[in-house]
Structure 1
């Protein structure tokens, strides 16, 4: 019996060995170089690329160093780049804090007895947020160590196509050589250079997420998703907040949806100064900031005082200190970003780049992560798969969240012609809004399709609760070539907001009322 058991064990082990084989490792080919791969930048894309390369036996080093913000609020970041330290992570957590404020108001309608007054403590919130960020910084350090990736707190620059110079905070230089170099240095917020007092008295999102004290009454200059997200959560935690908009909100996004987002924000309590341009910022003896601006429609000049002025007027790629010009790495002279081929290669052999620093690349963490992994696999000889930058989903975490994937209605019209697209749409009311008696005027769904044939879906847009969670699933449908027929044949989950997407049946061409009135 024992012999039979042993035979059975060895037979099972044999077949297991035949059926299973671990993924092939690419033995380090560093040879005359110190490393197979040197990654400059420890953000999401750089970390993903370096860890993936190490999985295939590549010898890898990551250089990560961040200069303090202009205002000096942040002396040093931990690993993780913009997303972890001053972007997606702290933004979403503070957005959640603001949603709790709304939930407290709704809770009374649902029978919760809440003592007044209800107030928010900035310091408590930020302590929790920053503790979580630091835990992520530490986690990334541990992961690199586990993957045997060398982490160097150096400011990296290029000497040639195989050589990187690392500079420590103390000014000590170290030279590293590598078969391949990947640049993933991302970007930083810009200050306007033509407005007196802007730099001296203003802050950016880099500072906002590490403020120890509440920013108080705040003017947000700009109308990008960064501007609106910050203004939204500041309003949500009870701060007097104004957004100054030069032209339009959420440039690059569907403009009907952008209008719904800002309409909701105004109802929510955020103030908007439309078609206005700041002229100067002065600090008064009281410590308050006096902002002077011009109304471009009337030509009139106005003033008001604020505790903080947040500049959200765009981001600049971190390319200037890399020495790219000396090597002949081609840049877009207007944006300062690196011109890339479809395989993330630059104009110089053996030098690659990805993430926000790449011209035409979405400035989104998940795209940088996926592109980084795919690049690592190609460099290790394990795959030829390229990153697909089409139909990347995203969500704007404003008080009423806006999620989308694919083309805006404007872009669909531009590419296919207005008469060749069909727009299915619906205004709906989330069930959770009913008892709370919340206004749902801006909760809206738009499905942009080709008008003829199989009605391939070109764009999907959604404003409402948990927009990101709703949009993620539908994004997979895009990768599978979803059509309106696929959508209408899908059974919804009741009662959810997401089910309203699969129920849309009114077209804009019909002119019929698109308000959902029941099940």
Structure 2
């Protein structure tokens, strides 16, 4: 006798940020909701291998930078000392485990049925789940099914010996701090982790394919961060040609080979991109269309080509940011179950931050994007570079630079882009992001009285 199919109003595949947000919001509207997660840990990449543990490491790396300047600011006995990587890993893992438990309790409190197992489509309204507890395969049906499985790191498996390296997930599994590391990649993940390694005292080599990293950002961000990376001793290998092989030595070090360099390192970190985690879902059984890259095709209302199936988050590849997935998930449930007919996420002017050293933030158009959209004669750029007052008593070589860039368009000088590099950029951008989302102009910025002395006051006094 075939197993009985359990029916729900809403079945969410993926217990990451977007899936959790959508499932919980739907349940609060009274929908019968089930959430399927294959890893056995709720929270997705952000909680387990992304934003949260990354920010913990960034905070420590940032602390090191401040401690190094302490003797110049009246603490002559201050000494950074040895960093205990193992201690921090243990404490960080415990913190993440506590968050996993909080998510489970919240899901239960909201009345969402948590199903731990690997999901695969049987039809547009049915999913089979291979249960992690070993109880076999169970079938579930729902009027609406959400695909929110996220993504995973890409590996250059065609390179002999690539498997000796680690990816960004593996960074958080390291039990010991490597003395010498190679990071391959030019996106924000590579840059953030390279910055952490270097700040904590690891000899860091960064390999990038072209002459700059963070190329999707305004040049002011990539230029300023590259300058500072070189200043603090990160060795940037530009125009890198792919390694021909990676060799594991008897000492357990890795030897990297290409036509430019042979380099021995303790650890090799691949940060060369991410891909949607759709393997095993059997999307073809439901008729869901994907791009050649594997990303699920979904419109601004998160609808796929199959009426009963929706998708959001990293698996659709629009803006792979945790808050984007959360916002999209909540608005989707508002529309499906809350009676908010046109609820959907506006993907325009989404602020984002790169937690490098110094940190950087951006919202809106780059200068070139603004020129392409409005015409060069319609664009006016305001820019300022300075040293914050928090470095007033610090030697010049130890000061972290701050650069702000405002991109304005049209006769009213509407602010269409804001790009920040320097301390506190993340916190500053969150507030200014609201103003830009509301359509602020340069005169709106000018009409706001400055808070002195702050770095952010520079944004309302630009000339």
Length-normalised TM-score, structure 1: 0.85
Question: Hey, what does 2:180 align to over in structure 1?
Answer: 217
Matched, 1:111 2:74: yes
Q: In the TM superposition, what is the alpha-carbon distance from 1:441 to its structure 2 partner? A: 7.2
Q: 2:280 — aligned with what?
A: 321
SS at match of 1:454: coil
More deviation, 415-424/90-99:
415-424
Matches of 1:145 and 1:115 in 2, distance apart? 48
Question: Mean alpha-carbon deviation: is it higher for 128-137 or for 177-186?
Answer: 128-137
Give me the whole-angstrom Cα distance separating, in 1, the residues matched to 2:146 and 2:347: 19
**Partner Cα distance (2:33, 2:215) in 1:** 39
Question: Which residue does 1:62 correspond to in 2?
Answer: 35
CA distance in 1, matches of 2:126, 2:238: 49
RMSD of Structure 2 on Structure 1 (CA): 1.5
Q: What residue is the counterpart of 1:34 in the other structure? A: 7
Greater relative contact order: 1 or 2 (C-alpha under 8 angstroms, separation 6 or more)? 2
Between 262-271 and 230-239, report the one with greater CA deviation. 262-271
Equivalent position to 1:474, from 432, 449, 452:
432
Instruction: Describe how 1:485-496 pairs up with structure 2 within 5 A.
Output: 485-496=443-454
Corresponding residue for 1:297?
none
* Contact 2:71 2:78 survives alignment (8 Å): no
Q: CA deviation at 1:44?
A: 0.5
Q: Which runs of 5+ in 1 are unaligned?
A: 1-31, 67-76, 295-300, 506-519
**Mapping 1:181-192, distance limit 5 Å:** 181-192=145-156
For 1:438 and 1:153, the matched residues in 2 are separated by 54
Which one of 198, 220, 234 corresponds to residue 270 of structure 1? 234
- Which one of the candidate residues 328, 338, 352 is aligned to 1:371? 328
Query: Do 1:203 and 1:310's aligned partners in 2 also have CA atoms closer than 8 Å?
Result: yes
- Per the normalisation by structure 2, the TM-score is 0.95
- Most deviating of 337-346 and 212-221: 212-221
1:447 deviation in Å? 0.2
SS at match of 1:342: coil
- Say which is worse superposed, 246-255 or 481-490, in terms of deviation: 246-255
Contact kept? 2:10, 2:32, Cα under 8 Å: yes
Contact in 2 for aligned 1:35/1:59 (Cα 8 Å): yes
Structure 1 residues 90, 336: closer, same or farther in 2, change over 3 A?
Answer: same
Counterpart check, 1:129 vs 2:92: yes
Matching residue of 1:46: 19
Which piece of structure 1 moves more, 391-400 or 322-331?
322-331
The superposition leaves residues 479-509 of structure 1 with CA deviations (integer Å, 9 ceiling, x where unpaired) of 211101101111121111111111111xxxx
Mapped pair 1:208 → 2:171? yes
Uncovered stretches (5+) of structure 2, i.e. residues with no partner: none
Pick closer, same or farther for the CA change 1:108–1:196 going to 2, 3 Å. same
Q: For each residue in 1:433-469, what CA deviation from the matched residue of structure 2 results, as whole angstroms up to 9, or x when unmatched? A: 121224457421100011x321111100110101110
- CA shift digits 1:217-241 (9 cap, x unpaired): 1100011100000000111111111
Q: What displacement does 1:210 show?
A: 2.3
Distance 2:92 2:45 in 1: 15
Separation (CA, whole Å) in 1 of partners of 2:436 and 2:53:
29
Aligned-residue offset at 1:194 = 2.4
Q: Distance in 2 between matches of 1:314 and 1:116?
A: 38
| Cα distance per residue 1:108-137 (max 9 Å; x no partner) | 111113355711110111112111111110
